[in-house]
Structure 1
């Protein structure tokens, strides 16, 4: 006969096993009604007219994921994370060719830091996260995410136009495949180094990347910077760096960041971009936050007129609960040079305005 004491013993064993291994599903659903003039629903400049749309990820990128951790003993843990972007307005994956386009890695964590391997965000993005004036909001339109961290470098009449590193996409190098990343926590300092294998037969340099970053955080002050070097399939280089700071002063947080990158697009041509940004976030009422940010982007490219844009944002967010936030967002862009591009033979509007009323829920 199966004795009650045996059941108690098995439950105890199961409890210990579960305590050593944790797997957590999570995600963000962010959707808003978006009105724009001078730009379309995808925030590209247009020659004329206005657009009303239901848009995903205006505050935080909609996503879903699974992460886990298992204790291995001696202070060591095995970790993994799988994460994919979502377009909540259509139900489609953000990238049709990748189920987990955002993150897909496994690794080991200990008192000496963590070593992870797989598809991961770059050290540039890690460095920007604590000091971006907009707090990494509106990823598809945030210049620090797009231009400083190289998530979408294409705008106006030209772009890099080729793949640097192992992102799998031209003009998007924010996340890389085949990456080894070490992160070490040393009191107020966090150090990061990474290397991505290009996996090009006969040429170990082609499509490879390497980078290093250092961050300091203590007593309300954060300082964060990083440098990365990318190669394309022809061994042309792309170098990028970022340096920023944030300071908490009571209910007010001040942030500023500067970034620069330079890409060799051929043996005789280069494209260089510089990004300066600053912003303020403050509590203006119970569970009510106002965030404002300004970005200045300038680009110089061989064979093209110097161009760029100025972009400003304002967010008013009301926390409805621990997981749900309603928000109003507005943005204004002024394109410089030929950065607005053309539609057919007609020059696009040099100014763009956006306004959003949205709801974000975290689970």
Structure 2
């Protein structure tokens, strides 16, 4: 908290320096009222019951950050970015142990690409930007973010139960510490390569990750994919890939993606997960956009019953001003196998529904 206050004072009192240094404060505040049946306030399955809550980050994740650049001449720039998630409903940090849990990196941009070092999103996350049917809306509940992108691999009766790569958390490998990422763009093509150091003494492979990504993006069509390998501290591998496409046809936009990951979780034990998704967006009238998407998740784990879930979303967004959007959201989940799990020994509902009315402001 002391560091947060110091940074706030610096930003508030150094307007001239900020302008000269090309430093910008930015963020999103997204908060909504949500009613759910069969889902708790954190959207975990519960025994049949209704819940009313105030939620944060349902359209776009609430966050704040600082980014900047300085010219080095000859088309070269020094750049940095610091970004942390916030819970707009409570005012707390998204991660209590990290001020900048989302991004914390510095690097160099040049005519040959960008090299960035620090905490960054994994390459699967980067690949999903152009092709996720929801455009990565409702990240905490979006299966492409959670299961394909490995933000939350624990649901139902099973979890990976360990950390793969240097994320800092078990069952969450969406963002990685100690990452070296290179991005090069040539026309519509964008290529990325990344390596995250595990920093385990005597074993350079333990807790590390590496991968590559390639995207072809034009205004009317996009194809984007990535493959990565993560390792646990014990040297157990987790292999993941994602591949998707997007297309504009008149006023319609269609997106689809397929992803799979396989993790060795112990001697003779493994978990296989796959996510298929598809969706469409279309303006329904002036400044109103409707987006619908469906996700199918399936999981196979050694000595456990096959499970998974299907989840559908409908978003209707109304632009009130260039930086302010009102939205309505509806979702429906069907849990498969034992994925719904138990609460206090009682079986959770195998169906969950949610409705949200919210407001998002960008600054």
| TM-score calculated relative to the size of structure 2 | 0.94
Counterpart CA distance in 1 for 2:20 and 2:79 is 12
SS in 1 for 2:84: strand
Deviation of the 1:292 alpha carbon: 0.1
Contact 1:262 1:271 (8 Å CA) reproduced: yes
SS of the residue corresponding to residue 155 of structure 1 reads coil
Residue 41 of structure 1 contacts residue 52 of structure 1 at CA under 8 Å; is this kept in 2? yes
Equivalents in 1 of 2:263, 2:19: separation in Å?
A: 49
Q: Distance in 2 between matches of 1:362 and 1:92?
A: 18
Spell out structure 1 runs of 4+ moving beyond 4 A: 17-20
Counterpart residue number, 2:342: 342
Map of 2:186 onto structure 1: 186
Shift of 1:32: 0.2
User: Which residue number in structure 2 is paired with residue 56 of structure 1?
Assistant: 56
Query: 2:321 matched to which residue of 1?
Result: 321
Distance (Å, rounded) in 2 between the aligned partners of 1:360 and 1:143: 22
Shift of 1:346: 1.5
**1:299-314 equivalence runs, <5 A:** 299-314=299-314
Asked if the contact 1:20–1:71 (Cα under 8 Å) also holds between the matched residues in 2, the reply is: no
Once residues 320 and 340 of structure 2 are traced to their aligned partners in structure 1, the CA distance between those partners, rounded to angstroms, is 38
Closer/same/farther in 2, CA of residues 79 and 156 from structure 1, 3 Å limit: same
Q: Take 1:355 and 1:119, find their aligned partners in 2: how far apart are those partners?
A: 34
Q: State whether residues 23 and 69 of structure 1, in contact with CA within 8 Å, keep that contact through their aligned partners in structure 2.
A: yes
Once the two structures are superposed, the pairs formed by residues 273-288 of structure 1 within 5 Å of their partners are 273-288=273-288
Task: Check 1:63–1:344 CA distance in 2 against 1; reply closer, same or farther (3 A cut).
Answer: same
Q: Deviations over 1:223-273 (max 9, x none)?
A: 000000000010000000000000011211000000000000012100000
- Tell me, yes or no, if the aligned pair for 1:260 and 1:273 is still in contact at 8 Å: yes
What CA distance in whole angstroms lies between the structure 2 residues aligned with 1:131 and 1:286?
Answer: 25
Q: CA RMSD in A?
A: 1.2
Unaligned segments of structure 2, at least 5 residues: 1-16
Residue aligning to 1:227: 227
**Which residue does 2:154 correspond to in 1?**
154
Unaligned runs of 5+ in 1: 1-16
CA distance in structure 2 between the partners assigned to 1:42 and 1:271 by the alignment: 24
CA contact (8 A) 2:167 2:174 kept: yes
Query: In structure 1, what is the Cα distance between the partners aligned to 2:326 and 2:219?
Result: 30
**Secondary structure of 2:124's match?**
helix
Q: 1:278 to 1:205 in 2, by over 3 A?
A: same
Measured in 1, the distance between the counterparts of 2:159 and 2:143 equals: 15
Question: In the aligned structure 1, how far is the partner of 2:215 from the partner of 2:195?
Answer: 19
**What is the match of residue 216 of structure 1?**
216
Deviations 1:110-143 (A, max 9, x none): 1100000000011110001110000100000000
Name 1:289's counterpart in structure 2: 289
Rounded Cα–Cα distance in structure 1 between residues aligned with 2:252 and 2:352: 29
With the length of structure 1 as denominator, give the TM-score of the two structures: 0.94
Residue 82 of structure 2: aligned partner: 82
Distance 1:357 1:73 in 2: 48
Alignment of 1:33-48 (within 5 A): 33-48=33-48
Q: Give the Å deviation of 1:217.
A: 1.1
Q: Please give the secondary structure, in 1, of the residue aligned with 2:99.
A: coil
Instruction: Say if 2:238 is the partner of 1:238.
Output: yes
* Post-superposition offset of 1:21: 3.2
Q: Per-residue deviation at 1:218?
A: 2.1
CA distance, structure 2, for counterparts of residue 238 and residue 125 of structure 1: 16
Secondary structure of residue in 2 paired with 1:127: helix
**Partners in 2 of 1:354 and 1:114 — Cα distance?**
41
Q: 1:310 to 1:92 in 2, by over 3 A?
A: same
Q: 1:362 to 1:18 in 2, by over 3 A?
A: closer
